[in-house]
């Protein structure tokens, strides 16, 4: 009897340690804490419309792009990141809307592609930046897409660089779980044309997907929603078979209305897709890339820089030509 009592005492005494070691559960579903998605009042499309009221393209861009809820991207250009992220989610919260933010500042960003090269100056600098990002959001409801391209961009990286990147992403997820309990974070998983589902499942898991709410697909790309949904389901089958869990996913539909022509950098003939919504074959369909913003100095955006708003590209994308 005494042995059983001692065993019970020992078990109870260890309970707080077990609870402390468990990953923190998100307090609530941010989609039920808000009433619809937040439309960035200072997006590049919105600014262009405001400064070009007499342009013949303005009505179409205003009606179809500028007022559609779209993510805001945060990086080195954002200034003090905790203040910037906090102001953005605070403005959305005041309107009872759900903001979508993109964290795009990882060390050695776009290491292989190069069009969007940059990011934090070191892994330590990134850890500090992302901790401030999460702290700025705090307990307000939000969706964060974490580091687009980071898990697809392995082709020219050494194993040491890959390990370093995965460690940065895992650390970022830890910070969001610690500081931003009402934020759903989606670890970016590239797109179906980049890596096999089996390869991507392994990369996601090694980068800490178990800590994330889910994964994101098709960011800044053009592949159809159906192609991405099939790929997301295939990734989940791999995750289930190999690691024993699955995750919800979101799809960037901002520019996939005509699907892909096989090119990823400012291809012609693309079209805007389904506006941001819950469901649609994924957990959410989101406009993550702003239609009309350049992918870089390429394609129909020759002479532009990544992120620059190109009104002619935006206008043609409304109609698909």
Tell me the catalytic residues.
149
Name beta bridge partners: 188. Answer: 216
3-state secondary structure of 258: coil
CA gap 64, 53 in Å, rounded:
15
Strands 100-103 and 183-188: unpaired
As to burial, measured by CB atoms within 10 angstroms (0-12 exposed, 13-18 middle, 19+ buried), residue 216 is buried
Pairing mode of beta strands 72-74, 142-146: unpaired
Going by C-alpha positions, the residue among 130, 137, 84, 140 that lies closest to residue 107 is 130
| Helical segments of 253-321, H only | 311-319
- Helix, strand, coil distribution of the chain in percent, nearest 5: 40, 10, 45
Bridge partners of 74, per DSSP, are: 103
Distance CA 96, CA 122 (A): 36
CA dist 264 and 49 (Å) reads: 26
CA dihedral 69→50→96→274, nearest 10 degrees, is -10
Cβ neighbourhood burial of 213 (10 Å; 0-12, 13-18, 19+)? buried
């Amino acid at each position: 009897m005494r042995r059983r009592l001692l065993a019970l005492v020992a078990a109870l005494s260890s309970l707080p340690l077990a609870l402390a070691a468990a990953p923190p559960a998100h307090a609530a579903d941010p989609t039920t804490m808000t009433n619809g998605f937040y439309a960035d009042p200072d997006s590049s499309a919105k600014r262009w419309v405001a400064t070009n009221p007499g342009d013949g393209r303005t009505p179409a861009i205003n009606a179809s792009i500028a007022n559609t809820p779209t993510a805001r991207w945060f990086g080195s250009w954002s200034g003090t990141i905790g203040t910037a992220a906090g102001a953005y989610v605070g403005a959305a919260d005041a309107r009872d809307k759900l903001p979508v933010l993109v964290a795009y500042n990882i060390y050695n960003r776009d290491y292989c592609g190069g069009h969007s090269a940059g990011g934090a100056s070191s892994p330590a600098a990134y850890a500090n930046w992302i901790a401030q990002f999460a702290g700025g959001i705090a307990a307000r409801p939000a969706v964060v897409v974490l580091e687009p391209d980071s898990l697809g961009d392995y082709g020219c990286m050494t194993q040491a660089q890959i390990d370093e990147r995965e460690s940065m992403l895992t650390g970022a997820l830890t910070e969001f779980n610690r500081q931003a309990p009402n934020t759903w974070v989606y670890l970016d998983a590239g797109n179906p044309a980049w890596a096999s589902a089996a390869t991507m499942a392994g990369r996601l898991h090694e980068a800490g997907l178990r800590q994330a709410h889910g994964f994101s697909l098709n960011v800044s790309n053009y592949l159809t929603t159906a192609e991405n949904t099939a790929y997301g389901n295939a990734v989940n089958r791999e995750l289930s078979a190999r690691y024993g869990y699955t995750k919800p996913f979101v799809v960037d539909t901002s520019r996939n209305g005509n699907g892909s022509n096989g090119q990823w950098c400012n291809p012609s003939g693309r079209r805007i897709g389904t506006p941001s919504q819950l469901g649609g074959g994924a957990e959410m369909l989101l406009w993550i890339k702003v239609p009309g913003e350049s992918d870089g100095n390429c394609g129909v955006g020759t002479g532009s820089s990544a992120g620059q708003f190109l009104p002619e590209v935006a206008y043609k994308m409304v109609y698909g030509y």
